[in-house]
Structure 1
Amino acid sequence: MSNGRATDGPSKSSEEEDKAAVRRSVRPAKGAAKRSNRTEDGKLPLIYYKEGQALKDLAKLFQTNGEGQVVEVRIAMESMTNANVLVRSRQLWGNGIYTQDSDLVAVLMHCGFYNQAVCHGGAAIAEMRAHITLLPPQKAYASCARNNIRSRAWGEATEGCSYQVDRCWMCARGGAMVEMASSLDGGTYVSATFAPAAGERPTVTRSHAHLHMRTRPLQEVTVQFNLCNEPWLKYSMLLVADQGLKAPQWTSARLLTETLFLETARERFELSRAGPPAGEQPGESQEAYRFGKCKLAWPQALMWRMGIPLPADALEAVQPALPWEAFQWGPAGMYLNGQLLQILRIHFAPNRSSPPQDGHDATGVAPP
């Protein structure tokens, strides 16, 4: 007896049969009256997904229309994220067929219809649409780890219904629709786990009571690891800005006893005091500063032995005498001679002379 589907080759493998069993459409039982899944106006029942809430209307639709009812669910893209509360708490039970209180976003991720690291469409995507088929309660719901998420197991359900996802679309704001294919293999996606921040990250804190509990952004202090895997401060204009109106509170005055090291994503630079600029009279108070690129990113202990500021042979592309006004600081970094250095990390190191060649420094380590 024919099952209504043409066969064009040999029988499928057991693995393919398992996948087909998970995705097959469920037909009404034999002898049941034929009916339409659509309403009187020719449309499927529509449910809008609300983050943090289960699809409450599924049980009502199942009681009214019975097994095999197809329901369309629309999900805003703001909810299609791993930060979804029900996704993080793994609120899904079953494998292929899920309980009615399973979160649909978690189910779409578990079935491989959507992966945030791969399918992120940005502001151009308006919503996701899914067609689900209502099924009777199952005798058991198995647990399965797939697509970087593990579903939960559950025993026999005595009330309510179950459902499975048949189709899924990604809808753009311009009206275009892209059908998403499921990935039942459960492959693990490789995505970046660290991305350097391009700018400052504001944090929201409580304001004072006289500001009527308004929130305002405050700059946080963040520690990053430099090119030698040592902790440095993340660059911020607050760290290089003058701290008051008095001369001792200026950053340029701080460089009398300290040296400023700057790092980009690949290079390290040194900014130190060099004395009066060339051609200036000794009685004038104008200071000059040396700026150069470090040949290598040495660890702190080795720089102590070399001496801070670093010797001239440890730098390249040195500009020996620059006024303080030549350094223009901005949110993205420092401008020097019209060029922007995208500074990521900074570090103030106290000046330290190099020890004698036959001696030891304060750390007890012999010089190189």
Structure 2
Amino acid sequence: MFNTYDSIGVSVVGKSEVSTVVYRVGECMQELIKLWKEYESSQAEKNCESSQNGPTLEIRIPAEHVTATNRQVRGGQLWGTDIYTDDSDLVAVLMHTGYCRPTASPPSPAIQELRATIRVLPPQDCYISTLRNNVRSRAWGAAIGCSYRVERCCIVKKGGGTIDLEPCLTNTSSVEPTLAPVAVERTMTTRAAASNALRQQRFVREVTIQYNLCNEPWIKYSINIVADKGLKKPLYTSARLKKGEVLYLETHSRRYELCFTGEKMVKATTVSQAHETETEKSLTHNLHSTNGEISTVDGDSVMIDVFRWSCCKKPLPQKVMRSIGIPLPLEHLEVLEENLNWEDILWSQTGVSVAGKDYPLARVHFLSPN
């Protein structure tokens, strides 16, 4: 995942020795981990704890690789923010940190290479995802190998001379919606899926991921996710809602909430009119064709499940939503339909119809109060 760098020697900067290596695309690198292990061993010999700052490594990047068409950049080989996993691609990191822009155009012919000095760091418990400078890094929730951060980057001109580059760390977006990730689908294979596929010697099935209005990964809308089909009725959407889960659905501009709100009593004759094709016996028992439950109270009345359809006033990150409560408090919602029968909610290949109004959907996500 991280690229190979050919070791070409050691240069002296001040009193510290800095290993210098050359960036190469698409091959695994061991130099970073090797430096960290050597540093840990030296600290152990001195009977002192490893510092949070390890050794530095100078990377020489040929100018032709500093482009968004670099396959490591296109493949999203980038985990973390400011501090990155050891297998994060350095060109992608430099674009994420704003040392260079993610454009498909090659650098000026006057540029020979970039030189980046990175600091080797201990593994982090987790690496967070952000959208920064139009480059999205990915999240990783476990410590692996070691980490690194960029401390300096400069241009080396043909014929000699250098120009120091400055990072741009403020152009970030982890909450606010942007056009790029909302409308674009991305396919990626997780590390676990890839390794499992390798063991089983089979092709990897890729999963389509979309980013929601808060730039968090959600599942692409599919009728197979929400339709009440199959033999496992506890997995029906309506059953999951009754257990306390809440379904959030998005168009390309708005977010909606669908939740179970309880039961209401209706006259059996009203239910009969709504289900003309059902027999009298089926009206007085649970209707499993849609998994919306109807319970007999007496000869004239039945209890049916009811649901609420609301528009979220503002898309909120999941962490914030969990902190304020799921379903969301009413002050965060515009309630569009209350006391809905499950039969009032009709799913299709492109979206959902609620009480006769159509909503074209792009993404869906279940959240539970826990």
Determine if the TM-score, normalized by the shorter chain, exceeds 0.5. no
Normalised by the length of structure 1, the TM-score is 0.38
Normalised by the length of structure 2, the TM-score is 0.38
Task: Flag the structure with higher strand content.
Answer: 2
